[in-house]
Amino acid sequence: MNDFVIENTKSTPYVKFGYEQKKLIVKGESYPENSYSFYEPIYKLIDEYFVSFDELTIDFQLSYINTSSIKCLIILFDKLNANYQNGKNIIINWHYDEDNGFDYDMGQDFKMDIDIPFNFISISAEE
């Protein structure tokens, strides 16, 4: 199965669904005019993925997410949470920049509502 890749634009993040590495990467900024049309294909991929796979690591690094994208991410997290509760092995890595402050808070908000292991990783610590 080929990897699914969406290159980033000014208002949409880079998305890569790596089937071999069992990894989903979402990186950049997210504030498209129509968030649903951007995230809908990803929902579909996740549903299909968990039919045949049991394991997924998701790396988020989002320096900005607008309100409608937040709503879309909430739906995404609900989906993942449902799979996690069904016994799928899911890990979320939330990369943030200490200089930002926005992304860490955002992660905290998301973490509150789900049961999936949620790791905060500082970008400056990575470097």
Partner 1 sequence: MKEKEPIKGYSQSYIKNVFRIIFVASIIISLAVIITGFLGYNNTKKSLIEKAKSQDIVFIVKSMASKIDSRISRAVETSDIFAKDPLNIEWVKGEEKDNGSGKIVLNKIKNIVNSYDYSNFFIAGVKSKHYYRANLDGNENNRSFIALSESNPEDSWFWKMLKSKKETELNLGYDTATENTFLYVNTIMGSVDNPVGITGVGMNLNEITKEFKEFKVGKESNIWMIDDKGIIQLSDIREDIGKKYNEFVPNEVVDKVENQSTDIVENVKVSQYSDENNKIIDYAYCKLSVSDWTLFYEIPRTESISLIDTLKTNTIINVILVLVFFMILFYIISRKIANPYKQAMLINMELEHKVNIRTQELKESNQKVNDSIEYAKRLQESILPCEDDLTRVFKNNFVIWRPRDTVGGDFFWLREIDDEIVLAVGDCTGHGVPGAFMTMTVNAILHNIVTTVNKDDPSIILKELHMQLKQALNKTSNPQSVDDGLDIAIFCIKKKSSLLYLGANLELYVKRDKEVNILKPQSKGVGYSYIDLKDSLYNEMVSIEEGDIFIVSTDGFIHQNGGVKNYPFGKKRLYNMIQECEAIDFNSMKTEFETTLEVYMNNEEQRDDITIFAFKVK
β-strands 55-65, 23-30 pairing: parallel
Amino acid, res. 48 = E
Q: Which is nearer to partner 1, 53 or 102 (CB)?
A: 102
- Residue 59 binds to partner 1 (criterion: CB under 8 A): no
Q: Is the dihedral of CA 55, 3, 62, 82 positive or negative?
A: negative
Binding mask 88-107 for partner 1 (x = CB under 8 A): ---------x-xxxxx-x--
Question: What's the Rg (C-alpha) of the chain?
Answer: 14
Binding mask 15-54 for partner 1 (x = CB under 8 A): --------------x-x-----------------------
- Residue 64 binds to partner 1 (criterion: CB under 8 A): yes
In whole angstroms, what separates CA 127 from the centre of its chain? 21
Min dist. Cβ of residue 109 to partner 1 (A): 8
Nearest to 5 by CA among 24, 29, 30: 24
Tell me which residues touch partner 1 (CB under 8 A). Answer: 29, 31, 63-64, 66-68, 71, 74-75, 78, 97, 99-103, 105, 109
